[in-house]
Each structure stands twice: as structure tokens, then as C-alpha cells.
Amino acid sequence: MENIVTVSQLTKHFKAVEVLKGVSFTIAKGSIFALLGSNGAGKTTTVRILSTLSKPNGGSASVCGFDVVRQADSVRGCISLTGQFAAVDEVLTGKENLQLIGQLRRLSNIKDRVDKWLAFFDLEDAANRKVSTYSGGMRRRLDIAMSLMDSPQVLFLDEPTTGLDPQNRIAMWELVKNLAAEGTTVFLTTQYLEEAEYLADKIAILHGGVIIAEGTPQDLKEIMPQRGAKLNFQSEEKAMEVIKLLKDSGISVDGIEQNLPSLEDVFLTLIGEKKEGDDHE
């Protein structure tokens, strides 16, 4: 598949603090990519560089075929960014917020675009209500709708479900899936392992300023050295026979299912931490 984002040996430091130490990854067009990491890992810094809000100290990055430093204006023309906190005007209605974005960006067919995204994000009934009356989940949906008014090729979502309750978080996941299905490339940063596992076609784990693992959720689970297998038999009797005579019996196994670790196990192992309750050496 064609790569729409390419990052090579990206570095960034703030005075004496080195945040990114040679970050590299690629993102396929139309996919959902999750950058996973702990607080302070450099996820937001990476997003800021790719969205042209910050310049790297070294390395290179391109979005939609444009260099993020030398062709920043062209990059901005093909992306949109939704930050960690909803940037909506509470005095205006939901519809007015969308109309304002359309006018500021001098878009054509503003009414059609507003109607499309109000429907997509299930905000039609609240379109004429002031945003100050919206719930947190509704504000977040409106915030993303505003980012999509000019139909960007790449949408950056920085911690999009932070502060949402479980019901709204799941609803947001479905909306992100639907966006990707319509052809939008989604770059997602998150601390939530289950979010990355559910949504992402590809995950990169950022730790210590570098990407320490990258691949599909299944790929990441399979890199763990400690795994097992679950054997399924047609009957309890046959299972007992195999347990007893496994080494030299010819009894066939009905099915073999890999017993892979959870993504949480992978993440914590890779960054050198243990889950609460684990034995400490």
C-alpha cells in the first residue's frame, strides 16, 4: 500500500532534554495508525512536528508527499489536527461552530458539509443548541467534525478519548473506524492499550525517544518469548488419553489455538515494567 506518512530518524530536543532520539515509521494511506506510549514519551511532540506546529532538530518527515519543514503550507492543506482538549466555541451552537470553520477556510458548499458531519457524528438533534449545553462526548464529536470540514487526507487525533466515559469512548472508536472506512488516514496517539488494539491497523510503541516495536496488534503479541498453546479435543475422554500418552500416541488434535499475551503484557515487557501484583526480583 502507498505510504502517506514517512518519518525517518526524527530528533527533537528542548534545551538539554532529548525527547525524540531517531524516530522512524511509515503509515499506509487509508489506515489507522496508533502511536502508543506513556505520559511524556514524546507522542504529542511527534504529532506537533508532523502537523507543522513544531520543527524537528534532525531527521526528516513527509505527509501526503510533502516535507513537513520545507513544504509546511502544502502539508497543512492535506491534514487536520484534533488536540487533547476540545477546541469549540461554547457560545455558538454546534451548527454555528461548523459554519464558522467553513467560512474561515473559505470552503464551498458549506451547508452540505455541515449537514454531512452533523449526521455522521449523530449531532443533528443538538445542532441548534449552544455547545455549553453539550456533554463531553458531544463536544469531542463536534471538535472532530470541525476538523473534517475540509475533508483532510490525514487526521491527527491526539488522545481523542481522554476524559470520556466508557460508553462515549466506545462510540468514538466506532466513529474513527467509520472515518477510515471512508478513506481518511487516521493518526492516533493514545495511552489506552485496548484502544490501540481495537482500532489500529498498525501500532508503534514509543519509549525513551525511540520506536521500540512496530507492527499489527497480532505482530506485537507474537514477539513475546513466553507463549503457549491451547489444544481443543472432541471429547474429555480423548483429552485424557492425549494428556497421558502425548509423547507417543497418534491421537489427533481437533484444534490448536495460540495462547498469545495481551497487548498490555507486550507493552509493559518492552518498556521494562511489570504489572501491579507481579513478583519483583
Task: Pick the range with the lowest mean pLDDT from 22-31, 53-62, 166-175.
Answer: 166-175
Residue 274's pLDDT band (boundaries 50, 70, 90)?
very low
- Angle of CA points 198, 200, 204, to nearest 5°: 120
Return the pLDDT at 276: 45
Radius of gyration of the chain, Cα coordinates, nearest whole angstrom: 23
Q: Can you point out the beta strands (E) in the chain? A: 3-14, 17-28, 32-36, 58-63, 66-67, 79-82, 154-158, 185-190, 202-207, 210-215, 228-232, 255-259
pLDDT tens across 94-124, in order?
Answer: 999 999 999 998 999 999 999 999 998 899 9
Residue 236's pLDDT band (boundaries 50, 70, 90)?
low
Stronger pLDDT, 185 or 232, i.e. the higher one: 185
Return the pLDDT at 154: 96
* Cβ burial, residue 162 (10 Å; 0-12/13-18/19+): middle
State the average pLDDT over residues 148-165.
87
- Angle of CA points 124, 155, 27, to nearest 5°: 145
State the average pLDDT over residues 181-207.
90
Q: Is the pLDDT of residue 15 over 90?
A: no
* Separation of first and last alpha carbons in the chain: 45
Residue 194's pLDDT band (boundaries 50, 70, 90)?
confident
State the average pLDDT over residues 249-276.
60
Cell numbers placing 180: 477510515
Return the pLDDT at 281: 37
Residue 158's pLDDT band (boundaries 50, 70, 90)?
confident
Stronger pLDDT, 2 or 224, i.e. the higher one: 2
Q: Is the pLDDT of residue 252 over 60?
A: no
Which residue type sits at 123? L
Which residue type sits at 97? N
Q: DSSP readout, 71-109?
A: THHHHHTTEEEE-SS----TTSBHHHHHHHHHHHTT-SS
Cell numbers placing 240: 485424557
Return the pLDDT at 123: 93
Q: Is the pLDDT of residue 157 over 60?
A: yes
3-state secondary structure of 23: strand
Average pLDDT, the chain: 84
β-partners of residue 3 are 28
Task: Pick the range with the lowest mean pLDDT from 16-25, 82-91, 235-244.
Answer: 235-244
pLDDT tens across 53-95, in order?
Answer: 999 999 999 999 999 999 999 999 999 998 777 788 999 999 9
- Which residues contact residue 27 at a Cβ distance below 8 angstroms, ignoring those fewer than 6 apart? 3, 4, 5, 6, 33, 185, 187, 202
List of domains in the chain: 3-90+133-221 (3.40.50.300), 228-260 (no CATH)
The pairs formed by 107-113 with CB atoms below 8 angstroms and a separation of 24 or more are 107/149, 107/150, 113/149
